[in-house]
A and B are shown apart, each in its own frame.
Chain A
Amino acid sequence: MDVILFLIFAIIAVVCGINVVVQTHPISSALSLIGVMGSLAVLYLLLGAEFIAMAQVIVYAGAIMVLFIFVIMLLNAGAEAKRGRSLVAQLLGMPLLVAFLALISYFIQRLYPSTTLVHFGAFKGGTAQSVGRALFTQYLLPFEVTSVLILIAILGAIVLARKELE
């Protein structure tokens, strides 16, 4: 059962991911990205990460991607034009990419034996309660700092995007 669920949603994620890269119009890419996030949320649930799954859907898919779509529509971005090129990216990019993927996979295979098996429900430590407890005790400082970070981001975004004062 777990395997089938995993395979289905993994394939959806990969297909949507490819779609993100391949599509010409940004809106299509954005919608594919939402698909990726959704399937990833299911995979999180399989791994017992309830809180993270919820956060993924609410924050990522619900807020960030909506922001993206707003901006795309604001800028009226059309299909991609064919001008401009980067020789380096074209020549070196593909081989490096393949090499990267191959290396990572190789190392994963060699270094991590497939003894750990993932059941749904085997990990009970991903509840909101445990995440909250860790967040407010062990990770209190990063928590406070990220709140400042968000404040700065808000200020930055407002300053950058407003109209010039007359």
Chain B
Amino acid sequence: MQLWLIPALPLAGFLINGIFGRRFSKAIINAVAIGSVLIAFAWALKTVLALGEAPTFEHYFDWIVAGGFRVGCDFAVDRLTAVMLLVVTGVGSLIHIYSISYMEHDHGYYRFFAYLNLFMFFMLTLVLAANYLVLFVGWEGVGLCSYLLIGFWFHKTSATNAGNKAFIVNRIGDYGFSLAMLMIVVNFGSLDFRTVFGAASKPEGMLTPIAMLLLVGACGKSAQFPLYVWLPDAMEGPTPVSALIHAATMVTAGVYVVARSFPIYIHAPAALERVAVIGLFTAAFAATIGLAQNDIKKVFAYSTVSQLGYMFLGLGTGAFSSGIYHLMTHAFFKALLFLGAGSVIHALSGEQDMRNMGGLRKKIPVTFWTLMCAALAISGVPPLAGFFSKDAILLAAYHHAPWMYWVGTITAGMTAFYVFRAMFMTFFGEYRGHEHPHESPAVITVPLAILAVLSVIGGFIKIPVWLDKFFPAAEAPEEFSLVVISVAAGLIGIALAYVMYIAKPGLADSVSSGFGWLYRVVYNKYFVDEIYNAAVVKPLVAGSRVVLWRGVDAGLIDGMANGIGSRSQGFGSVLRLLQSGNIRSYATWVLFGSVILVVALGLVGAAR
């Protein structure tokens, strides 16, 4: 099937644009970058359509051969991979097209597309991998590209700091992932998916630690508590980056890994429980923060964290296919939300604070209507895509533990509230800013429209049914009352937002000042960043500076190196005295040596 073509095409795009891009015209850069992704999408589509019952497996070469341990460079496509492939290449292509206009005036135009292609390469490697090590290659690679793209405008200190933060926090997750891989090697003797999952039931006691460590890795990449802090800061990057990496693809890698490793998780129920709890907590936590933010991209960032929590909740309650289903629908409407936000920002020539927006409904209508589709989808309004996926998860949660369902439903209400708060503040009322809003060109609006269509009808692509052949089926019979309650929660949220921001405009401010202290805490993201800084970052930096740099590096290691040098010099200056230039003293030393020789020979002879 030539699976390697799918990641190789974006890689070629990266190399061509990266090396020669500076001299190319915009047209050629576009053709190379977007062409490679579109062809990759076409090839992925062909692969998926040709997929039979059994997964397609391709082995390219032996990467590590060490005694009995082998790791090959293998790609495989099964139903789970198929879903991910189509989402990544499809949404990716749309975002590439969108970037033509969004990054039009940027100096690093070719660099942007090169990095985007590199990201696609790594993400596709991650998705196509047939063993943990190749997956890890893609895992690390997307982390690298995330760093490169967040810090794309590297002149801005805040952007480079955000890039560093993303990479470092990801690293913590990667550490957990590496430990999990090591434990897998120790317990299963191989990193290959087929081997590991075939024998997944055997090492009983060790499965829970492995699963927990994989979860740590997933939390880092998918921005779950407590490793979510990098995602809001990652909004420093260009908006297409936020849409592609931090909404649709990279952050879903953690969800993918947990879903892929489901045989391990099924046999480690304690770990699976934690997955659900962490997901639920993160969903609620992030939703509360999103209620109070004023930067439009930050609202959506916290929304991403929250929705990822939903996915984890779905996985943790055993409804694996629902979690992946939500991944797909979320890719549609979250990418749309971000791209739409980008369109708004572009229309306002860079304004991101919602307090300076308003009344844009008539000025940028296409953006408005597409964003409205996304907002309705994320609020779970039927029959849009978000309704089906979120509902499936909430149902599974109810059957797992009813209290999870109630927390999840309240969070859904909060989700609807903050999304529509953003919508109302941006598009309704009077325009509070000073710019001249203009509609974006077709290159932007067409992808928005396509995504809007997908958000509306995406729910009818019955992914869970298709995936249920892959995952063990979750027993979650439909209960109509639960569905009604969750939809009602969404509608209540929308209504509340309407009341606070359109009907009675002053109500929002009086609420926030009434809850003054609580509002400040929530607005400042519960001061989590500050806590991390004081508790973790400062001690580490101080310790490194004092102990490791001054003590060990300068004192010990440099001391040893210099000491060897000065010791040799001293020794040499003593030996120098032998060379006196006097022949008789030379002769005396020769005699000395021969006496020693005689003694030695005599001893040897006497020993015999």
Contact = CB atoms under 8 A, between A and B. Distances in A.
Direct touch of chains A and B (CB < 8 A): yes
Contact of B588 (A96, A103, A107): A96
Contact of A86 (B584, B591, B605, B606): B584
B591 A100 contact: yes
Contacts of A100: 591, 594-595, 598
B571 interface: no
A91 to B, nearest CB: 9
A107 B585 contact: no
A107 B584 contact: no
A103 B603 CA distance: 11
Given A93-B591, A96-B592, A86 B598 contact: no
Contacts of A111: 605
Given A86-B582, A88-B580, A88-B582, A103 B587 contact: no
A103 B599 contact: yes
Nearest to A89: B584
B598 A103 contact: yes
Q: Which of A88, A93, A111 has the most CB of B within 10 A?
A: A88
Contact of B598 (A89, A97, A104): A104
B588 A93 contact: yes
B602 interface: yes
A1 interface: no
Contacts of B588: 86, 88-89, 92-93, 96
Q: Secondary structure of the B side of the interface?
A: helix
Given A86-B584, A88-B584, A97 B591 contact: yes
Interface string B570-608: 000000000010101101110110110011001001100
Interface residues of A, number: 15
A100 B597 CA distance: 10
A104 B598 CA distance: 8
Nearest to B591: A96
Contacts of B592: 92, 96
A76 to B, nearest CB: 22
A112 to B, nearest CB: 11
A92 B580 CA distance: 15
A107 B598 contact: yes
Contacts of B589: 88
Interface string A94-125: 00110110011001001100000000000000
Contacts of A96: 588, 591-592, 595
A85 to B, nearest CB: 9
Contacts of A92: 588, 592
Interface string B255-276: 0000000000000000000000
Given A96-B592, A99-B595, A89 B602 contact: no
A81 to B, nearest CB: 15
B69 to A, nearest CB: 60
A63 to B, nearest CB: 26
Contacts of B599: 103
Nearest to B602: A107
Interface in B203-245: none
Nearest to A99: B595
Given A103-B602, A107-B602, A111-B605, A88 B595 contact: no
A149 B580 CA distance: 32
A104 B597 CA distance: 11
A100 B591 CA distance: 8
Nearest to B594: A100
A52 to B, nearest CB: 26
Nearest to B585: A88
Nearest to B578: A88
A86 B587 CA distance: 11
A74 B582 CA distance: 26
A84 B592 CA distance: 22
15 contacts: A86-B582, A87-B585, A88-B580, A88-B582, A88-B584, A88-B585, A88-B589, A93-B591, A96-B588, A96-B592, A97-B591, A103-B599, A107-B602, A110-B606, A111-B605
Interface of B: 580, 582, 584-585, 587-589, 591-592, 594-595, 598-599, 602, 605-606
Given A89-B584, A100-B591, 15 more contacts: A86-B582, A86-B584, A86-B588, A87-B585, A89-B585, A89-B588, A92-B588, A96-B588, A100-B594, A103-B598, A107-B598, A107-B602, A107-B605, A110-B606, A111-B605
The 5 closest A-B pairs by CB, nearest first: A88-B585, A86-B584, A89-B584, A89-B588, A86-B582
